[in-house]
Amino acid sequence: MMHEMAKTFFITTAIDYTNSPPHVGHAYEKVLADVIARYHGLKGEKVFFLTGVDQHGQKVQQSAAKTGVPPAEFVKGITQKFIDLWKKLDVQYDDWAETISDRHKKVVQGILQRLFNQGQIYKDKQAGYYSVRQEQFLTDKERGPDGQFGPEWGEIEFREEENYYFKLNQYKDWLLKYLDNRKDAVVPDFRQTELRNAAEKTSGDLCISRPKSRLDWGIELPFAKDFVTYVWFDALTNYISFAGYDPSKSNIEHQPSNFRDKWPALQIIGKDILVPAHGIYWLIMLRAMGFPDDQMPQLLVHGWWNISGAKMSKSVGNIVDPFVLVDKYGADALRYYLMSDMATGQDADFSEERLIERYNSDLANSLGNLLNRTLNMAARYQGSRIESPQGEWLQNPNEGSGKSYAEQIVKKRDSYNSHMSAGRRLPLDLPITFGAFVVNAAIEDVSGSADQANALVETVAPWKLARGSDTQSKAKLNAVLYSLVETLRIIAILVSPVIPQAAHGIFDQLNWKMELRRKEERFSLADAEWGRLPDGHVVGKPTPLFPRIES
């Protein structure tokens, strides 16, 4: 009998070019993937999170040449910077893609050879004007209004060059149909519309090679030793080469179970590499390799972090260094800012003042203060011991308010869950974009719970109850503290994908799941139920979790 294994949740990111060190845009994407990966871990799923670096190509060869070191050595140094940053930022991937590895090279060559044998790759001659500086053929689109090529192209010469081409164009109709049939192929949905429009206009095949005389820092074509494969067949293939794909098998049914258990992936990319790279080339490459429609990955496209509305760039000198930010504010503070201050899919403006503002208001003033005052009151009023409230006070210590306090916290949790999930898993009466990985909205649900708990403290004023000596006041005081501790316990679980260190800190101070200290298994969505705190639980002593940042 066939044994159906539970499917692994597979998530990938773009692999970063190793021509210069990571900046805050790279950090955003990897943290976003890490948060979604951790969220699926919370749900108890098996998770495989793949990220890595794109080490071949012209840009890298040029940057290496400028520093005067061989590309292999140059790439090692930059790669290490990425690895160091992910460690510093608590980005916990399960495998690391390096495109110079043998494992990757074998898969790329295996795929190219198979497509070549099937007649999907052919050789052709291109003749035309060529920019030596930009290393590319120019078309009429590049001509200025005066009909000339502008100075940005440098020296122009007429060239004839033979190269290999992949028959992209023959799959255009398939791609359009696929996009029409699957409304959540790309999220958010305005990006799918953008792709659909671009796919309609696409024409021609894809040049996939460069003669070694021009570029030799790449993977050699297995059927033409004087050429390397150029950019996309190398880079995009990482998503399957590091997931166990066997290039010799075109039928997906014959792929190793290790691969089939994971694929298809949720793939996180920036808006600049949707069209044409991922949306057109990658989907068509997969199709040509034999992947059926139901085995196509889903693309989650994020926006860009800008600086005062402008692009970050080395030449402008406005690159934001994530290492500096982590050293100054800590990994959690940067993660929290990146995840909460950008609406997933949209662009945002990076500002250090904003980072400080959000940290101080959401973390120091709201959540940190809630933890601190709760544990202080618990210690002062009842020796840190929390009893299970009786009757309706279990759900609602503020009986006058009418609405059940616990119910509102649970509602926020449910809203958090739908925001963290893929749109297609939502009930049909909600629009797709509403729940599709809107991490910033999920964070708002959590900070909303903290606000609600703080509001409860203000309305019931536990210090007044503590002055009463009657059993009624005492019981009510305990019920309020119980509600606050339950809220904090649930918040810690929900916020753990975003600020894992702080979540551990909250659990530590609540004296909760101490046997699993520092282990991620401490956090599970199944525990985010109201009323799990056992009768007579003794909470810990408060220590400031989010000291205010004074700017």
State the residues that interact with ligand MSP by CB under 6 A.
14-17, 25-26, 28-29, 54, 235-236, 238, 269-270, 272-273, 304-305, 312
Residue 539 structure tokens: 């909470």
**Cβ distance 204 to 171 under 8 Å?**
no
Say how far apart CA 492 and CA 197 lie, in whole Å: 43
Which residue, 299 or 493, has its beta carbon nearer to ligand MSP?
A: 299
How large is the greatest C-alpha to C-alpha distance in the chain, in angstroms?
95
Cβ 20 to ligand MSP shortest distance, Å: 8
- Tokens 């900046």 appear where? 23
Cβ 304 to ligand MSP shortest distance, Å: 4
Which residue, 15 or 75, has its beta carbon nearer to ligand MSP?
A: 15
- Residue 254 one-letter amino acid: H
Which residue, 316 or 514, has its beta carbon nearer to ligand MSP?
A: 316
Cβ 311 to ligand MSP shortest distance, Å: 7
Main-chain dihedrals φ then ψ at residue 415, nearest 5 degrees: -65, -40
Say how far apart CA 497 and CA 34 lie, in whole Å: 7
Cβ 384 to ligand MSP shortest distance, Å: 45
**Cβ distance 8 to 241 under 8 Å?**
no
**Cβ distance 318 to 310 under 8 Å?**
yes
Which residue, 93 or 305, has its beta carbon nearer to ligand MSP?
A: 305
Which residue, 195 or 465, has its beta carbon nearer to ligand MSP?
A: 195
Cβ 26 to ligand MSP shortest distance, Å: 5
Which residue, 305 or 482, has its beta carbon nearer to ligand MSP?
A: 305
- Which helix (H) or strand (E) segment holds residue 535: the answer is none
Q: Which residue is nearest to ligand MSP (CB)?
A: 270
Say how far apart CA 324 and CA 331 lie, in whole Å: 11
Torsion of CA 215, 217, 221, 226, to 10 degrees: 50
Cβ 341 to ligand MSP shortest distance, Å: 13
Say how far apart CA 214 and CA 356 lie, in whole Å: 48
**Cβ distance 172 to 134 under 8 Å?**
no
Which residue, 186 or 493, has its beta carbon nearer to ligand MSP?
A: 186
Which residue, 236 or 503, has its beta carbon nearer to ligand MSP?
A: 236
Cβ 379 to ligand MSP shortest distance, Å: 44
Cβ 314 to ligand MSP shortest distance, Å: 12
Which residue, 54 or 341, has its beta carbon nearer to ligand MSP?
A: 54
- Residue 507 one-letter amino acid: F
Helix (H, G, I), strand (E, B) or coil at 111: helix
**Cβ distance 50 to 306 under 8 Å?**
no
Say how far apart CA 110 and CA 113 lie, in whole Å: 5
Cβ 73 to ligand MSP shortest distance, Å: 20
**Residues 6 or more apart in contact with residue 378 via CB below 8 angstroms:** 384, 385, 386, 481, 485, 539
Cβ 146 to ligand MSP shortest distance, Å: 32
Helix (H, G, I), strand (E, B) or coil at 115: helix
Cβ 549 to ligand MSP shortest distance, Å: 23
Residue 271 structure tokens: 């808006």
Comparing CA positions, the residue from 291, 196, 205 lying closest to residue 243 is 291
Residue 436 structure tokens: 């599709």
- Residue 481 one-letter amino acid: L
Which residue, 299 or 506, has its beta carbon nearer to ligand MSP?
A: 299
Comparing CA positions, the residue from 13, 19, 25 lying closest to residue 93 is 13
Which residue, 349 or 520, has its beta carbon nearer to ligand MSP?
A: 349
